[in-house]
A and B are shown apart, each in its own frame.
Chain A
Amino acid sequence: MPEKTAATTASTGTETVTTTAAAPDTVLVTKAPKARSLWSDAWHDLRRNPLFLVSAGLIVLLLIVSAFPGLFTSASPRDADLANHYLGQPNWSHFFQPDWFGYDGQGRSIYSRVVYGARASIIVGVGVTALVTILGTLVGMIAGYFGGWVDTILSRITDIFMGIPFLLGALVVLTSFEKRAIWVVILALVFLGWTQIARVARGSVITIKQADYVVAAKALGASTTRILTRHVLPNAVAPIIVVATIALGGYIAAEATLSFLGVGLAEPTVSWGVDVSSGREQLRNAPHVLIIPSVMVSITVLSFLMFGDAVRNALDPKLR
């Protein structure tokens, strides 16, 4: 058998030379500009989009802050000096000083707490998004691709989870934990949040599995795993990524909400939600204690929403 193959390919080689010898060089001279894939095309668009540049810049800054908070402030977020008790008002001109944003009710530097609080929000946001995307894509892809009873069962399970009111569900889940470490909050949000991605993934997989190139791949002997990973997933992933980036902001907001309600993160964890919650007590006398962490939450959520929007526009130019 190998001998035969060699023989046929050999003849291929010689014949090719004779048949194409007339044409190729002239064609090569006018070589088309480098082809762009969907992703490099999207990147090409994004680099020129101010919305994307601003939001991406903010997100990068947030990531750096949450990774290395020590670089941005010398004060510890847990140092309480009651001499500062309420309320050193903000000193707007003291950039990056502990008293830049003033002090909270226990005399802790708000600036420092804001810096250290970023980590909790980012970990929750990114962690929940990552897990939700993996879980949702898996469930949605299996349901959409295999269809039939597999789809029926998985879709009903998705519906059941979707039927649970988010806040109520989170309250119930979280109050059943004695100690609410950050991973508990993450798992609670994943538990309630994966359905959205699952639906999106299922929908786009159903569209794609009917595409001729999936049938063609099957006809040329590709295995199910290969079809799913090489043909279905890369084509289905764009809407999933869009939904995931937009949802990321929502998870950060949800963490703040739950912490504010007292069922999310709690002292001594440093988190914006926790600070908003404690700032509420002295809203009249010292509004900045509440407002500054709230603004941080808003800016962060907004950056992720803008980021998601920009990515969506880049991946689907028809939406513009």
Chain B
Amino acid sequence: MTIIEETAGVPAPRAGGEASGPLLEVRDLHVEFHTRDGVAKAVNGVNYSVASGETLAVLGESGSGKSVTAQAIMGILDMPPGKIPHGQILFRGQDMLTMSNDERRKIRGRKIAMIFQDALSSLNPVLSVGYQLGEMFRVHQGLSKKEAKAKSIELMDKVKIPAAKARVGDYPHQFSGGMRQRIMIAMALALEPDLIIADEPTTALDVTVQAQVMDLLAELQREYNMGLILITHDLGVVADVADKIAVMYAGRIVETAPVHELYKRPAHPYTRGLLDSIPRLDQKGQELYAIKGLPPNLLKIPTGCAFNPRCPKADDICRTEIPALVPVTEQDGSELPGRGSACHFWKETIHG
């Protein structure tokens, strides 16, 4: 606590970089896994970008490539069997895929940090929580053990762990699930990174705790003015937190939209299907809608639009031509900023 100086009451807004461009930009990213049965194409040309202070939610079911994209950004993909045949990941304009291992390692933790789904298995069971938190400061900033411990306590307070001082020497198994996830968040926050990637941060938690953790994350993000990529399959989690949403299906982005627009008027049949499958109180007693069929096998992605075998609107063109992600407009042709859909029939879907 001695390090702290009461200089200003309001946190200085983080410089958004030299240029006002996005913090992180993923361009035409492809990832494939070479397996015994062939090449599994997990990510097939993903484009997205996040600016400082912005929250991008990446939505999709299991196997849609959302986590793989995040792993590719972090550089923690198992490189065989994984492979990145082409694409760019630009962090402040620099392509991370062409950097040396050492340069990338320096970005991890300091500039981009990640929060994992299962906090218990993401914390080392043989080291105390305080040690693991303090490690960030000792390694990256060269602080002494004592200073690092003080910083750890401060961080634990920050993520609202009660009695942080008393619990700093405890081991991960002594914390509850929600508290563990808070510790993971604290570790990611430790070096005040510019961007945090949260890979299903609340999936392993129960519903009441989910809300608390999401609120905490949103609050800290505002405070530090960080970019946040939130990977989830839970539409409910996204609604309150995200600024914009990218919906993924079979390794492609099928729809992008500002968060409320997406809920109001989806422009892709898959998004519509997802929204229709949310149980709603006013439809009590009726049968719940479900998207028929199964997610595609990544070894044999259907030709044309990957969603066509499951799509209620599918036509011949869907089976032959891959739809590009095109800007979505109002009926009268006026622009809808930030919206895009990869569907041949987006007009019918959004306006129909």
Q: Answer whether residue B294 sits at the interface, using C-beta atoms and an 8 A cutoff.
A: no
Query: By the criterion CB–CB under 8 Å, are B4 and A13 in contact?
Result: yes
Q: Does B176 contact A (CB under 8 A)?
A: no
What is the minimal beta-carbon distance from A8 to any residue of chain B, in angstroms? 4
Known: A9-B3, A10-B7, A235-B125. A221 touches B105 (CB 8 A): yes
Interface status of A35 (Cβ within 8 A of chain B) = yes
Docked-complex contact A20 and B113, CB < 8 angstroms: no
Nearest residue in A to B6 (C-beta to C-beta)? A10
| B207 contacts chain A at the CB level, 8 A cutoff | no
Residues of B within 8 A of A217 (CB): 124
Among A22-30, A92-100, A241-249, A306-314, which stretch is in contact with chain B?
A22-30
Chain B residues with CB under 8 A of A235 = 124-126
With contacts A216-B114, A219-B114, A235-B126 taken as known, whether A11 is within 8 angstroms of B11 at the C-beta atoms is yes
A38 touching B169 in the complex, CB below 8 Å, given contacts A16-B154, A24-B163, A32-B174 = no
A38 and B126: CB pair below 8 A?
Answer: yes
Cross-chain contact A6 with B124 (CB below 8 angstroms): no
Residues of B within 8 A of A213 (CB): 121-125
**Residue B188 at the A interface, CB < 8 A?**
yes
Contact flag A35-B136 (CB < 8 Å), given A10-B4, A216-B122: no
Complex alpha-carbon distance, A219 and B110, angstroms: 10
* A234 contacts B127, C-beta separation under 8 Å: yes
Whether the pair B109, A221 counts as a contact (CB closer than 8 A) is: yes
**A211 contacts which chain B residues (CB < 8 A)?**
121
Please measure, in the bound complex, the distance between the C-alpha atom of A150 and the C-alpha atom of B147, giving whole angstroms: 40
Residues 121-139 of A contacting B (Cβ, < 8 Å): none
Contact B7 A6 (CB under 8 A): yes
> Chain B 53-91, CB within 8 Å of chain A: the 1/0 string?
000000000000000000000101000100000000000
The answer, among B128, B154, B171, for a CB contact under 8 Å with A13, is B154
Contact A212 B105 (CB under 8 A): no
> Are A35 and B171 within 8 A (Cβ)?
yes
Q: How far is the CA of A9 from the CA of B76 in the complex (A)?
A: 30
Find out whether the CB atom of A9 lies under 8 angstroms from the CB atom of B122: no
Q: Output the nearest chain B residue to A221 by Cβ-Cβ distance.
A: B109
Point out the residues of chain A lying under 8 angstroms from B174, CB to CB. 32, 35
Bound form: Cα–Cα A231–B125 in Å: 9
Interface residues of B in 93-110 (CB under 8 A from A): 105-110
Task: Determine if A267 is an interface residue (Cβ-Cβ < 8 Å).
Answer: no
Q: Write out, one digit per residue, whether chain A residues 188-224 have a CB within 8 A of any chain B CB (1) or not (0).
A: 0000000000000000000000011101111111110
Is A148 interfacial (CB-CB < 8 Å)? yes
Tell me which of A4, A5, A12, A27 contacts B162 (CB under 8 A). A27
Q: Which residues of B contact A176 (CB under 8 A)?
A: none
Determine if B260 is an interface residue (Cβ-Cβ < 8 Å). Answer: no
Q: Indicate if the CB atoms of B11 and A220 lie closer than 8 Å.
A: no
Encode A221-238 as 1/0 by CB contact (under 8 A) with B.
111001000110011000
Residue of chain A at shortest CB distance from B80: A148
Contact B114 A7 (CB under 8 A): no
Chain B stretch 39-61: residues in CB contact (< 8 A) with chain A:
none
Give the chain B neighbours of A20 by CB distance below 8 A.
157, 160, 162, 164
Interface string of B157-192 (1 = CB under 8 A from A): 110101110100111001000000000100110001
A12 to B192, CA, bound (A): 12
Minimum CB–CB distance for A147 against chain B, Å: 9
Asked if A3 is an interface residue, CB under 8 A from chain B, the answer is: yes
For A9, A13, A14, which residue has the most chain B Cβ atoms within 10 angstroms? A9
A7 touches B108 (CB 8 A): no
Closest beta carbon of chain B to A238's beta carbon, Å: 9
Contacts A212-B121, A213-B121, A231-B124 given; indicate if A28 touches B158 (C-beta within 8 A): no
Q: How far is the CB of B204 from chain A (nearest CB, A)?
A: 11
Q: Does A318 contact B (CB under 8 A)?
A: no
- Provide the bound-state CA to CA distance between A217 and B121, in Å: 12
- Per the bound structure, the CA–CA distance linking A211 and B223 in Å amounts to 32
Closest 10 CB pairs of A and B: A221-B109, A221-B108, A212-B121, A16-B157, A220-B109, A219-B114, A216-B122, A212-B122, A27-B163, A8-B11
User: Known pairs A11-B11, A35-B174. 19 more at Cβ < 8 A?
Assistant: A7-B7, A8-B12, A10-B5, A10-B9, A11-B9, A11-B10, A15-B158, A24-B162, A27-B162, A27-B166, A35-B128, A37-B126, A212-B116, A215-B76, A216-B123, A220-B113, A220-B136, A221-B139, A221-B140
Contacts from A to B (Cβ < 8 Å): 3-16, 19-20, 23-24, 27-28, 31-32, 35, 37-38, 148, 211-213, 215-223, 226, 230-231, 234-235
13 pairs, CB–CB < 8 Å, chain A vs chain B: A8-B11, A9-B154, A12-B4, A12-B154, A19-B160, A20-B160, A213-B121, A219-B113, A220-B108, A221-B105, A221-B110, A222-B109, A222-B135
